[in-house]
Amino acid sequence: MTGAAHSKEAGATRTTCPYCGVGCGLQVTRDAATGAVAVKGDTAHPANFGRTCSKGAALGETLGLEGRLLHPVVDGVRVSWDAALDRVASVFSATIAEHGPDSVAFYVSGQLLTEDYYVANKLMKGFIGSGNIDTNSRLCMASAVAGHKRAFGTDTVPGIYEDLEQADLVVLVGSNLAWCHPVLFQRLAAAKAARPELTVVVIDPRRTMTARSADLHLALNPGSDVALFNGLLVHLQEAGKLDAAFVQDHTNGLDAALHAARALSLAEIAEITGLSQAELRRFYDLFARTERVVTGFSQGVNQSSAGSDKVNAILNCHLLTGRIGYPGMGPFSITGQPNAMGGREVGGLANQLACHMELGEPEHRRIVQDFWRSPRIADRPGLKAVDLFRAVKDGRIKAVWIAGTNPVDSLPDADDVQAGLKDCPFVVVSDVMAVTDTARHAHVLLPAAAWGEKDGTVTNSERRISRQRRFQPWPGEVRADWWIFAEVAKRMGWADAFDYAAPVEVFREFAALSGVENAGTRDFDISALADITAEAYDALLPVQWPCPKGEVPRSERRFFADGQFYTPDRRARFIATAWRAPAEQISHDY
């Protein structure tokens, strides 16, 4: 799906906001004489139809060069790119030769573009041969990934933004949509203004701005979501809302899920959640009698030691009622980061392969390794974010490359992260800023391109791939992240496999891989774009996946209404989720 006039129209560059997972389209005009940049919403972009929030609208004010890292630096001294890249490649190669592939690691970011992410992941998993690449998206979305894969057999968000407007009931769980995804909140508010019968329920311990605007706010105790949704599952079944044909033909595991859910009485759920039985009944009755329900969830669900179970407790309710994949209904994971979804697609987490393939699946490893023609491929999951920095601290990781993120500030146990980096023999940081709490520990600093200088794609919460386009000249010696990773890979001996001249070449390869031996077995398939020309890539309109070869890329695809899932038997799985007190909840099952 391309449009010749899309990338440039009346002097404006169409691009995508870099701040959150809504993925709003923006139109940017730049005064060539003064460099002043004006930003407004792109009326043609289906994520926002011209809307912006204050963050997106103020992007033009963030483009100054103050504090930017503009040149490569090694051991505190400005050097040439060749010198910096040679140093990174030689130290990584020597470390791998002496200590093995698992002695090195990459920690990357949901702020990277998909092309950047793809190249980094390919280098670590397919050429270095370790699973030790993880991303700050783990903190954001790993619970949703695990929950989706357990229930659907694939990490797929079933719905699209329009569903929030078409629903008769929107339940927001652990989501302060008004602050964190403002344009989605605007869309929901506009839908409610046009159709006041649209009911909004917010489930959140906090009295947020979103909660204050809701028809019903359930201020449950932190960590009690599983109990709340287990009670809902039982209520739906007892109220006769089970979609018998859907459950019988397309699912497994309901009895076990109901058995686990029945462990708690309504009185016990009231005690655990801190909600009155009357509040519980009101919510349960509302959910039961409303066919068109969207349950949106975000970090209040994901960032929890029981995050995966919370996700599955929600998915169970939609599976039991068959309310999934139709207009105005379904569970909806709302991603925090601008490209958390793109990272999931390229396999940016330590336990994934590219294109929704699995490290643990020998056939998937064969497909990817054959396609990459790589000398080896990681055959077991690498270290996940927190464990990765524990391994830095205890000396197992001897060389680490951190790209586009600041783990000394953003990871739990930040003092330990800092202590580990301080003693790590080799730390590389590629970033846009010269001074961060992480960068101060770097032996090598590599200047990366910022928003407006980058060129590639991102994927938003509704699986919509959009272009981020470059409209600023590169200041100093900054370079694109995909280029930096590829140049290091070339110097490590893999020049042929990383010989990309432009991001479109990375995108073509990524799109082609998604279609290899797929034939509908994996829902992530964008092989229709595998032969995209540079001109068509430049003009690419926002497009949702899947778009397999032979099909015209399209928008507004919902998943699973046909009852076809991506488990081995093509059935969705109910997951038995037993509520446990938060202090006892530790899960390592994702």
Residue 339 binding ligand SF4, by CB under 6 A = no
Contacts of 32 (CB under 8 A, 6+ apart): none
- Answer for which of 6, 45, 125, 181 binds ligand SF4 (CB under 6 A) is 181
Pick between residue 136 and residue 154 the one whose CB is nearest to ligand SF4.
136
Options 47-55, 118-126, 150-158, 449-457: segment touching ligand SF4 (CB under 6 A): 47-55
Pick between residue 52 and residue 468 the one whose CB is nearest to ligand SF4.
52
Pick between residue 52 and residue 290 the one whose CB is nearest to ligand SF4.
52
Q: C-alpha 56: how far from its chain's center? A: 19
Sheet containing 169-173, strands listed edge to edge, beginning at the edge strand earlier in sequence: 216-218, 199-203, 169-173, 293-297, 330-333
Paired sense of beta strands 464-468 and 251-252, if any = unpaired
The three-class DSSP label of residue 228 is helix
Closest C-alpha among 189, 183, 182, 180 to residue 298? 180
Give the H/E segment covering residue 284: helix 277-289
What is the nearest approach in angstroms of ligand SF4 to the Cβ of residue 119?
24
Q: Which residue has the tokens 């197992």?
A: 396
What is the nearest approach in angstroms of ligand SF4 to the Cβ of residue 16?
8
x/- string (CB under 6 A) for ligand SF4, residues 231-250?
A: --------------------
The stretches of 27-161 forming alpha helices (DSSP H) are 54-57, 81-99, 114-121, 137-152
x/- string (CB under 6 A) for ligand SF4, residues 129-168?
A: ----------------------------------------
Residue 183 binding ligand SF4, by CB under 6 A = yes
* Interface positions, 9-38, toward ligand SF4 (CB under 6 A): 17, 19-20, 22-24
d(CA 337, CA 424): 28
- Answer for which of 182, 348, 542, 553 binds ligand SF4 (CB under 6 A) is 182
Pick between residue 144 and residue 575 the one whose CB is nearest to ligand SF4.
144
- Answer for which of 28, 37, 39, 53 binds ligand SF4 (CB under 6 A) is 53
Pick between residue 112 and residue 288 the one whose CB is nearest to ligand SF4.
112
564 token code pair: 């076809």
Pick between residue 19 and residue 287 the one whose CB is nearest to ligand SF4.
19
Pick between residue 20 and residue 69 the one whose CB is nearest to ligand SF4.
20
- Which residue has the closest beta carbon to ligand SF4? 56
d(CA 187, CA 196): 14
Strand partners, 444: 74, 428
d(CA 467, CA 538): 8
Neighbours of 203 (CB within 10 A): 28
Burial 504-517 (b: 16+ CB within 10 A, else e): bbbbbbbbbbbbbe
What is the nearest approach in angstroms of ligand SF4 to the Cβ of residue 190?
14
Residue 40 binding ligand SF4, by CB under 6 A = no
Give the H/E segment covering residue 422: helix 414-423
x/- string (CB under 6 A) for ligand SF4, residues 55-74?
A: xx------------------
Pick between residue 296 and residue 548 the one whose CB is nearest to ligand SF4.
296
Options 45-53, 194-202, 290-298, 450-458: segment touching ligand SF4 (CB under 6 A): 45-53
Pick between residue 45 and residue 571 the one whose CB is nearest to ligand SF4.
45
61 token code pair: 């004010």
Do the beta carbons of residue 492 and residue 101 sit within 8 Å? no
Pick between residue 181 and residue 479 the one whose CB is nearest to ligand SF4.
181
What is the nearest approach in angstroms of ligand SF4 to the Cβ of residue 113?
15
d(CA 565, CA 548): 17
Pick between residue 341 and residue 408 the one whose CB is nearest to ligand SF4.
341
d(CA 75, CA 548): 47
Q: Which residue has the tokens 């590219």?
A: 354
What is the nearest approach in angstroms of ligand SF4 to the Cβ of residue 405?
18
Residue 52 binding ligand SF4, by CB under 6 A = yes
Total residues binding ligand SF4 (CB under 6 A): 14
Q: Which residue has the tokens 């938060």?
A: 582
What is the nearest approach in angstroms of ligand SF4 to the Cβ of residue 292?
24
Exposure on the CB side of residue 420, measured as CA atoms within 13 A: 23
Residue 391 binding ligand SF4, by CB under 6 A = no
- DSSP letter string over 496-518? GGG--SSHHHHHHHHHHHHHTT-
Q: Which residues are near ligand SF4 by CB under 6 A? A: 17, 19-20, 22-24, 48, 52-53, 55-56, 181-183
